[in-house]
A and B are shown apart, each in its own frame.
Chain A
Amino acid sequence: MRVTITEYLGLDLSEERWKCNRCGADLGSAQEPYKKGCLIRDRDPHDVHFPIGPNKGYNFAFDPEWVRIVEFYCPGCGTMLENEYLPPGHPLTWDIEVDLQQLKNKHLREDLS
């Protein structure tokens, strides 16, 4: 049984694995961060937020020495499932650890009702 957890993340309750909501690609064990199943790229924030003005350090864009954009892509379809704006080298965020047992109980109840 597949349930929708976020905009792009599905979860197969019987397999206990993350799935891409767009293409169905497998994103790894639901006991682990789905980010382990993604393709990951860190980008210069100026690729997205274009600086304006004469000042290198303050220009209405993120300072690449302070922040990088880390993008997480579905390996199947290339959809950007999530991103993080992190100082270079900062550990990633395990953002969602669902309680699988509670989730299974909840959906089992819904099925029975």
Chain B
Amino acid sequence: MGRLFDEKARLFEGLVYDGNAFGKGPAWDPSLLKEGPAPLTELEREGIDRLSDVDLELMRHKLTSIVEEARDVYMSLSISEGIITGDMNCSIFTASGDPAVVATGIYFHSLLNYTQVKYINKYYRNDHTVGLKDGDIYFFNDELGGGVHTFDMFVAMPIFYEGELIAWAEVGGHQGDSGSVSPGGFSPKATSRYEEGLHICQMRIGENDEIRRDIFEFMCGSVRNPFVFGSDLKARVATCIRIRQRFLREVERRGVATTVGGLRKILTSTEQMARDRLRELNDGVYRAVLFNDDVGREPGLTRIPTTVFKEGDEMTVLVQSVSPENFAGSMHSTWHLVRASLGVYLFSYFFRGLPPNAGLLEPLRVLVEGPSIANSSAEVAHGEGTSISACVAQNLHVVGSKILFDSPYREAVSSPHSRNLLLYIFAGENRRGYQTANFTGTANAAGQGARYDLDGESALGFYWGPFTDSGEVEDIDSRLPQLVLGRVVEKNNHGYGKTRGGAPLVEISTAFGDRGCMMTSRGSADKLSHNPGVFGGYWGPPNPRFVIRNTNVMQLMAEGDDLKFANQYELLTERPLEGEYLISSSSGETQKFDEGDIFVWSLGGGGGYGDVLERDPEEVLLDLQSGLITQEVADKVYGLVLDPETRETDAEGTEKRRGEMRAERLRAGKTFDEFTKYWSKQKPKEEILKYYGHWPEPRLEEYDKPFWGQYR
């Protein structure tokens, strides 16, 4: 593992680390989940030997263009909100099932959809009751088989050439309702996987390019939105067939060995590029920690720490002394979900510029203590496991910025993208007359973290997917049982700093029609945040659920009022609507909402970078003038002084004020010994720690060191 790891790390005995905390099941095999790329086949070896570096680049470009075309095809054919806005993935795998080329909106899908294919190869291909042949269609959505959660659904089809399996085509994404206890899939109150609907590890649902009618009707009948489900399933099959057609055309043009060898070499060359980059970075041990504030059924503090050992051309990510699993909600991740989630940061920032495929993760070893909320057992509900795995990815982002600063890749140094999850899942009959249950693309417009040389972009994208889009309001209105009234960028809802985080888009909508709609909310980060700043930058703030019941908005619209309320800050401070203003935990029961009830929804702002007192006063004024911050923030946080007459910045006055603020820091700050003497006596209330484990280190009783993680 390396000298630093051997000197500093301790693995607690009796726990699972390198793999999942659940064993082999009837249709899943966790040993496949931790396997690296399969050994080279003879055909791959033959092809690799023929390929020059130029051939490989041409091949990479061509195969990537095939999956990118497939992405467009799938998004165009789908009628699921998530897919349309980019919460999806299209891939070509090697014959062994390793993902080689990927087009996606969501990077982690690229790492959570291939173990199922390896399972088919290992257990079904030579089983006389199943087998594998050209034109077979496989479906999967079970998290234990290697997926995310049951709401993310995939189709894979083998690609044969002259009777030999040479590759796989795969297409899928966040489809939505799975027949779980809450409409739309996510069930924050679920306590076991059996409340999360249809679980299919991998099942052949069709042959000869056709879905079997009996299976199709069984699957559609298992969910609340059969028309959307069935339509989307067919879209996935059609897209797989398109990938197969394009891939086989390349086989005809280049020869089968060359194409298959190229597919494999793309993987191995990517790993080598990742190792080369790692060698340029400072070795060391780096740590970051995040906390969650909700377990689903009720509020509760849990802990997700991350230690990174960077040594030579390898990195070990150790997630240890995590809060235990709790059976009180669905915020339980799996080892493979944590590993895949790291790709979200690594692909976009840490390894930016390198091809985004599974090869990038090969220099990483991921050790996650289990059973715990980060590496949980089979029986718990896993639907919101991403709330935990994302904390590890956010920690890695903070750590990564500290590793990259003293390197040629400083341009990738930043605070993490907003991950304060809050999803409103709307269910009911839409204007087109069919049942629907899903969230809108508003999720895809959170704020970016501040960058070392630039502010974070506002309303940039979804945490999991840089390529996602927030969708067209009129389209959303037609597909979901709600009416969007406005979308605006939020005030005081990002992290402040030398450069500031991006602010989120806020969507304000109402239930639509006489029948209204059902709405389930899910999320966390209501009392705290998962949007850290770096190098002294303040964090993006919490964003709890906000609804207003029984408003007069429909009456105002009927009277011609153009609804000039701008954002949630002004809704709450100016109260332009009559009604009952309700702010609560993101984890909500499914509730009925009527026309005129208002939903206010955002996914939060990114953290800041650097000391607020170093922000250019002119930039602070710009933030104030553009409505991103209030006068109070400009005064009290940034120390901005304005000329009372011209309202322009008073440079001298600002410098003087900031000098006073620095002097106040020096006066109020304690030495390390003074601080730890006082700090070590503090502790949250017992009711807050109900699900935490031992305080302050969940795995150790009476830990009393001033820094966490010092287990030796």
Contacts and interface: CB of A to CB of B under 8 A. Distances in A.
Query: Do the two shown chains form a genuine complex with each other?
Result: yes
B158 to A, nearest CB: 47
Most chain B Cβ neighbours within 10 Å, of A37, A47, A78: A78
A66 B662 contact: no
A102 B669 CA distance: 34
A88 to B, nearest CB: 4
Contacts of A38: 669, 672
Interface string B383-423: 00000000000000001001001100000000000000000
Interface stretch (B257-265, B365-373, B539-547): B539-547
A62 interface: yes
Contacts of A58: 526-527, 542, 544-545, 583-585
A68 B539 CA distance: 12
Given A52-B573, A85-B528, A96-B286, A5 B406 contact: yes
Contacts of A48: 496, 538, 637
Interface residues of B, number: 90
A13 to B, nearest CB: 12
Nearest to B672: A36
A91 B669 contact: no
Interface string A87-103: 11111111111110011
B291 A93 contact: no
A12 interface: no
Given A63-B528, A97-B8, A99-B284, A8 B536 contact: yes
B685 A65 contact: yes
B683 A60 contact: no
B529 A62 contact: yes
Contacts of B584: 55, 58
Interface string B582-622: 01110000000000000000000000011111100000000
A70 B668 CA distance: 12
Nearest to B291: A87
Interface in B652-672: 661-663, 665-666, 668-672
B662 A89 contact: no
A78 B663 contact: yes
Interface string B669-707: 111100110011111110010000001110000010111
Contacts of B681: 89
Interface of A: 3-8, 33, 35-42, 47-50, 52-55, 57-63, 65-73, 75, 77-83, 85-99, 102-103, 106
Contact of B492 (A36, A42, A50): A50
B569 interface: yes
Interface in B224-241: none
B471 interface: no
Interface in B345-361: none
Contacts of B196: none
> Nearest 4 A-B pairs (CB), nearest first?
A39-B669, A78-B662, A89-B682, A88-B682
Interface string B476-504: 00000000000000001100101000000
B248 interface: no
B283 A63 contact: no
B709 interface: yes
10 contacts: A6-B406, A7-B452, A41-B669, A63-B527, A73-B669, A80-B611, A80-B665, A88-B683, A89-B679, A89-B684
Contacts of B534: 7
Contacts of A55: 583-584
A95 B405 CA distance: 14
B710 A75 contact: no
B698 to A, nearest CB: 11
A102 B283 contact: yes
B19 interface: no
A50 B632 contact: yes
A102 B288 contact: no
Contacts of A77: 662
Contacts of B676: 92
A95 B493 contact: no
A81 B533 CA distance: 12
B708 interface: yes
Contacts of B286: 95-97
